[in-house]
């Protein structure tokens, strides 16, 4: 009997605990439904259970409105950014186009200026070449004229031309006369040339390009070469330091040098005629 009563009590308590558990689960589900309505990540409509309060519904609607406003604000901001980018790009493209056009214009102007300068340079070069040719022709004409004048008064022999003066000067001045005309006092290299000098000088006493002014007794020609053999008159040279320049005599001169023919050393300050010599190849030079 007591066992039956005990079983009934236990059964009654179990049923009561089950009832309380069910009620607690219902309350939890209802709470979850209310909280679920506050989830902003879903757009599905949730039927609020009767147990949700009015303040919860207001908060839900406010949250949804805020979300919509935020979305709209993002769309407007994105649109503004796009419009601004398009505007900047358009202005930049316009500026780049203008700058490009200006640069092309400048390049074209520079090319034209370069071409003009090249034309001027070409013209100046042609003028210069023309002047060079003209000057060359004038020099050639002057050279030929000088040669003609020289040939009128100079005598040709073998590879040289000779000029015998009609006036008299000392040895230094005689040599300067020759060098001023691209020549020098005569250098006698052999017997044939000595005989030629006799023929053109006649009875005149003439200076030749031989001296020992640098070193007494060491005779040198005006080109610096040493005398190896000569055509001295009898007893010559004999003047020592008083007579350092040489004349040539074709016929005896009386009364100064009776019987003397050939080279004689003489004072360089004496005045005599002279003979200039110039190589024919020098006439060919421009």
**Helix (H) or strand (E) segment spanning residue 101:** helix 54-153
Residue range 160-284, CATH number: 3.10.100.10
pLDDT confidence of residue 209: 97
Mean pLDDT of the chain: 79
34 pLDDT exceeds 90? no
Can you give the residue ranges of every domain in the chain? 2-52, 160-284
Torsion sign, CA atoms 68, 73, 78, 80: positive
**Helix (H) or strand (E) segment spanning residue 156:** strand 155-157
User: How do 205-211 and 273-279 pair as beta strands?
Assistant: parallel
Cβ neighbours, 10 Å, residue 209: 23
Torsion sign, CA atoms 175, 176, 179, 183: negative
pTM listed for this prediction = 0.49
Percent of the chain with pLDDT over 70: 73
Of 90, 274, 79, 84, give the one whose Cα is nearest residue 173: 274
pLDDT confidence of residue 279: 87
Instruction: Write the pLDDT tens digit of every residue in 79-90.
Output: 888 888 887 777
Degrees, nearest 5: CA angle 37-27-56: 30
256 pLDDT exceeds 50? yes
4 pLDDT exceeds 60? no
Instruction: Write the pLDDT tens digit of every residue in 38-62.
Output: 444 444 444 444 445 666 677 777 7
Q: 276: helix, coil or strand?
A: strand
């Amino acid at each position: 009997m007591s066992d039956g009563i005990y079983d009934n009590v236990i059964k009654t308590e179990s049923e009561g605990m089950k009832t309380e558990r069910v009620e607690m689960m219902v309350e939890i589900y209802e709470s979850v439904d209310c909280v679920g309505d506050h989830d902003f990540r879903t757009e599905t409509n949730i039927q609020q259970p009767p147990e949700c309060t009015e303040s919860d519904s207001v908060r839900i609607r406010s949250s949804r409105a805020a979300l919509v406003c935020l979305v709209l604000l993002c769309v407007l901001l994105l649109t503004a950014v796009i419009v601004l980018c398009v505007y900047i790009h358009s202005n930049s493209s316009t500026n780049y186009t203008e700058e490009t056009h200006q640069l092309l214009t400048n390049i074209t102007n520079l090319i034209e200026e370069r071409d003009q300068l090249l034309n001027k340079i070409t013209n100046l070069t042609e003028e210069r070449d023309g002047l060079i040719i003209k000057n060359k022709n004038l020099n050639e004409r002057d050279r030929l004229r000088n040669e003609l004048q020289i040939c009128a008064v100079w005598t040709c022999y073998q590879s040289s031309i000779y000029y015998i003066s009609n006036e008299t000067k000392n040895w230094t001045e005689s040599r300067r006369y020759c060098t001023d005309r691209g020549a020098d006092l005569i250098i006698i290299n052999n017997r044939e040339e000595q005989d030629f000098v006799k023929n053109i000088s006649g009875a005149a006493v003439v200076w030749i390009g031989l001296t020992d002014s640098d070193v007494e007794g060491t005779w040198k020609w005006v080109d610096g070469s040493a005398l190896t053999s000569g055509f001295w008159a009898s007893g010559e040279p004999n003047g020592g330091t008083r007579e350092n320049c040489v004349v040539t005599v074709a016929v005896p001169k009386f009364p100064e040098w009776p019987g003397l023919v050939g080279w004689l050393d003489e004072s360089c300050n004496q005045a005599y005629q002279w003979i200039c010599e110039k190589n024919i190849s020098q006439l060919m030079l421009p």
